[in-house]
Amino acid sequence: MRYQLGQAVGLGLALFVCGSAALAGEPSGVEPRYLEEAKALAARIDQHVAAALNAQGIKPAGRASDGEFIRRAYLDVAGRIPDLTAARNFLDDRRPDKRLLWIEQLLADDRYVQHFANVWRAMLLPQAADEMGRNFAPGFEAWLRDRLRSNTGYDKMVRELLIPATPTNTNNGPFAFYLAQEQKPENLAASVARLFLGVNLECAQCHPHPFARWKREQFWELAAFFAPGSGAGRAKIPLPNSDKIVEARFLDGKEPSWERGSVPQAVLADWITADDNPYFARAAVNRVWAYFFGIGLIEPVDEPSDQNPPSHPELLDELAQEFRAHRYDLKYLIRGILASAAYQRTSAADGGPASSPRLLARRAIRGLSPEQLLDSLTVATGYATPDVATSSNVVTPPNQSPRAAFLAKFTAQGSRTETQTSILQALHMMNGALVSRAVAHSVEADAVHYLSTVDYPANKARAVDTLYVLVLSRQPRPEEIERVIRYVDRVPSNERGKALGDVLWALLNSAEFMLNH
């Protein structure tokens, strides 16, 4: 048992705050055009957000500290916290535009590709969590990585999904979207409407939608684009439990223009990704916004209606317009969001009146995804075996790897802004093999422990600083340094390594590490 566990738990409670390597060098070679575009889009975002706050008489929270920002940006873009070197380099960076420069460096790194392939796979192919989905999810995620690496426009990615090539095997990337829907027209219609149009049509499959204008015929008119046997020409489908046949029609009521040899899915893809489509860009922007803020401008993201209007309608319209104008460039959209004051606000409470998270007065605290938590643990502890630190985030059966077992235990939650930790998850963080081996003050053949490199007696304050920057991406406050030194110095000199392990353990189990704030 680690040294004086009761005292360590007490220290852990005291350290609760507000509820593989990473990039190590300073960013360079950034195109000025990207910085100017990011600033311009961020200014428009902040103008709309400020107008809504002023109308409510709400004062926004202050700017996040450098430590808060770099940790948040790494978690959101790279899927993990920065390592010790990267965090210190950022904290020491004195350039006025350093936040924009580091955002650009993150977007240029392959960790963005790896992480966002997982993010988009989870959005587009949630079926990958079940047994059948696991067979084709790796190929789908590999296809996503290839498209993200080349910064393919979002409209082109969607077209590839909707216009299927003949699959040679279940690892065919885009066709996995059809396989996940069992190639059923009704499943494909529901998913396409929800994902690419931001419309929940499923309730209209059997009867008119009770809260929206969608009719049963409209659902099946969309499903007709995926009807079997309609490989070319006008597409039709029988209306279930009736003698009626419905023809394919767009959700805005327009009839498709059928030309000789027209493929229905291609006709639908043309309409969905057209610049004058009233849904596509808005749905994409809202989905990306919801990822970075934990809540959409329309929330839920696929329930737009008169009863559920956008929190910032002019902002949503302008972002959609800019996204179209920049050819559906995802990096352009991400740059602008991360450069905004709305994104860079602190989450720390100031004692003022609480406001709705949708008003963006302060940063919403979000739970980490299972992948973010595990990958951050491997960075913070310096301990990982190949089967834990794999680049693939696709869910696999728990008996196949320690990584899959961890991801299964820390399953993603429905709402990222309402985080709950189960007893089993808390016990795993406190006593699981990964954390327990990482905080042990020893060096094993297959591990690299930061504790073994901390020279505590020579520079006590620096040793404490190392642990805080390593785990929390920020420097400790003077009272935290004093508290840790007092705790470690009370034990015999030959036990101080274990005491430092207790400090690391307490930091890893703190709310500040477990949450994205």
Domain definitions of the chain by residue range: 1-19+365-517
- Once rounded to an integer, what is the mean pLDDT over residues 449-478? 85
pLDDT digits (tens, 9 = 90+) for 247-270: 999 998 889 988 877 889 999 999
Rounded CA gap, 184 and 199, in Å? 19
Rounded mean pLDDT, 197-201: 88
End-to-end CA distance of the chain: 32
Q: Which two tokens stand for residue 335?
A: 């740059």
DSSP category for residue 258? -
pLDDT of residue 447: 40
Q: What does the buried/exposed string (b/e) look like for 110-147 if buried means 16 or more CB atoms within 10 Å of the residue's CB?
A: ebbbbbbbbbbbbebbebbbeeebbebbbbbbbbbbeb
Query: Between these two residues, 28 and 370, which has the higher pLDDT value?
Result: 370
Tokens of residue 270, six digits: 């043309």
- Distance between CA atoms of 298 and 309, rounded to whole angstroms? 7
Distance CA 177, CA 22 (A): 32
CB-based contact 237:220 (threshold 8 Å) = yes
Q: Which of 83-97, 162-176, 322-336 has the lowest mean pLDDT?
A: 162-176
Predicted confidence band at 234 (pLDDT cuts at 50, 70, 90)? Answer: confident
- Region 449-474: mean pLDDT is 84
User: What crossing angle do the helices spanning 496-508 and 460-472 adopt, rounded to 10°?
Assistant: 30
User: 298-309 burial, b for 16+ CB within 10 Å, e for fewer?
Assistant: bbebbbbeeeee
Indicate the range of 72-86, 271-285, 348-362, 491-505 predicted with least confidence: 348-362
CA-based torsion, 241, 244, 248, 252: positive or negative: negative
Q: For residue 339, what are its two tokens?
A: 């450069």
What is the maximum span of the chain, computed from C-alpha positions, in angstroms? 86
For 56, other C-beta atoms within 10 Å of its C-beta total: 11
User: What's the whole-number mean pLDDT along residues 297-320?
Assistant: 90
- Residue 226 pLDDT greater than 90, yes or no: yes
| pLDDT class of 419 with cuts at 50, 70, 90 | low
Q: How confident is the model at residue 274 (pLDDT cuts 50, 70, 90)?
A: very high
Out of 4-18, 106-120, 129-143, least confident range:
4-18
Please give the Cα distance from 67 to 84 (Å, whole number): 12
As a whole number of angstroms, the distance between CA 4 and CA 452 comes to: 20
Q: How far apart are CA 81 and CA 166, in angstroms?
A: 40
Predicted pLDDT at 306: 73
Summarised one tens digit per residue, pLDDT across range 48-106 is 999 999 999 999 999 999 999 999 999 999 999 999 999 999 999 999 999 999 999 99
- Segment 373-394 shows an average pLDDT of 68
Most confident of 277-281, 434-438, 443-447: 277-281
What percent of the chain shows pLDDT beyond 70? Answer: 75
497: how many CB neighbours lie within 10 A of its CB? 18
Across the chain, what does the average pLDDT equal? Answer: 82
CA distance 273 to 255: 16
Q: Two tokens at 390?
A: 């794999």
* Region of poorest pLDDT, from 92-101, 271-280, 452-461: 452-461
Report whether pLDDT(457) > 70: yes
When mean pLDDT is compared across 93-102, 271-280, 396-405, the lowest value belongs to: 396-405
Q: Of 195-209, 384-398, 471-485, where does the model show the most confidence?
A: 471-485
Average of per-residue pLDDT across 500-509: 89
**Residue holding tokens 């220290």?**
11
Most confident of 154-163, 359-368, 385-394, 486-495: 154-163
pLDDT of the residue at 2: 41
Range with top average pLDDT, 241-250, 266-275, 358-367: 266-275
pTM here is: 0.88
